[in-house]
Amino acid sequence: MTVPDFFQVDVFATRPLTGNGLAVFLFTDGWSAPIMQGLTQEMKQFESIFLSEVTSTGACARVFTVEEELPFAGHPVLGAAAVLHRTQTPEAETSSWILKLPSGDVPVNTKKMDGHYLAEMNQGPAIFGTAIASAELAPILSRLGLESGDLTAGFPAVVISTGLPYLVVPVRPEALAWAAISGTDLEALLSVHGAKFVFVLDVAGRELRTWDNLGRVEDVATGSAAGPAAAYLFSLGLADPNLPVELAQGRFAGRPSRIRVIRDERGGLLVSGEVWPVAHGFLDPGTLRVEALGP
């Protein structure tokens, strides 16, 4: 049977049409970056992932948002591994994969469930930056529609990375509802502190929100932020490092998602979630002959 060119899946989901939607493209060897960027924009997903050099143990992977290529992203890695399990080892109950991303190799384990897959990736130990002083944080809070009084007292804002650096901003539970990005210079403000993106975190409710840096799209389940969020909770004694951490996201976007994080004995962060199939299909002839896709 001919393998479809792409699969649509929902990651960190509890059933189809929940969690974070993702387009997974297979056998993309030789595809140009403009093609991959253009297809991501066509799909209008928060991210798409493109797999080349596909084998029964892994693939090379490139991840695009509608705006740019990312060196690493969480839910695309899990979704891609589930599609590899479905297409490359369909008879196996469990499979292991190495996805080679620009940020490095990411090991992923997948397990066949009843009509879907459970996928878990090892993001490795978290890397912590320094805490950000209140005066330096003020312009970032302004872009988030927040004030200093919206922060959780006694907890720092700090940059943490497990492949993609996030500024973690701890907020009071009620502040989650009105947080929203405005302006066009948030990415520049974050870059001063070594961060690529920001997320607000209700440390008590273990719920987070994040967006693209222009605030156009709210992400509903962010695997690359889940590791830093759990690491933040562990580091401050807000979660037992010997127990799984369940993180909530997507409620405000109408797509509630479930993300699980475990810390292993080496300090590595294991991020997992369910992957549900939604659709699959083929690209029409001629699509890949377009070398430069304009707006």
Instruction: Identify which of 102, 185, 178, 97 has the alpha carbon closest to the alpha carbon of residue 143.
Output: 185
Question: From first to last of its 295 residues, what are the pLDDT tens digits of the chain?
Answer: 468 899 999 999 999 999 999 999 999 999 999 999 999 999 988 899 999 999 999 999 999 999 899 999 999 999 999 999 999 999 999 999 999 999 999 999 999 999 999 999 999 999 999 899 999 999 999 999 999 999 999 999 999 999 999 999 999 999 999 999 999 999 999 999 999 999 999 999 999 999 999 999 899 999 999 999 999 999 999 999 999 999 999 999 999 899 999 999 999 999 999 999 999 999 998 888 755 444 4
Per-domain boundaries in the chain: 6-123+275-289, 127-267
| pLDDT at residue 2 in the model | 64
Instruction: Identify which of 120, 164, 85 has the alpha carbon closest to the alpha carbon of residue 260.
Output: 120
Q: Which positions ≥6 away from 233 have C-beta within 8 Å?
A: 203, 206, 239, 245
Q: Which residue has the tokens 């199939």?
A: 277
Catalytic residue list: 47
What's the CA gap between 47 and 28, in Å, rounded? 16
Partner residues linked to 100 by β-bridges:
60, 105
Count other Cβ atoms within 10 Å, centred on residue 214.
14
Which CATH number fits the domain 6-123+275-289, given the four candidates 1.10.10.1100, 3.90.870.10, 3.10.310.10, 3.30.365.10? 3.10.310.10
Class of domain 127-267: alpha beta
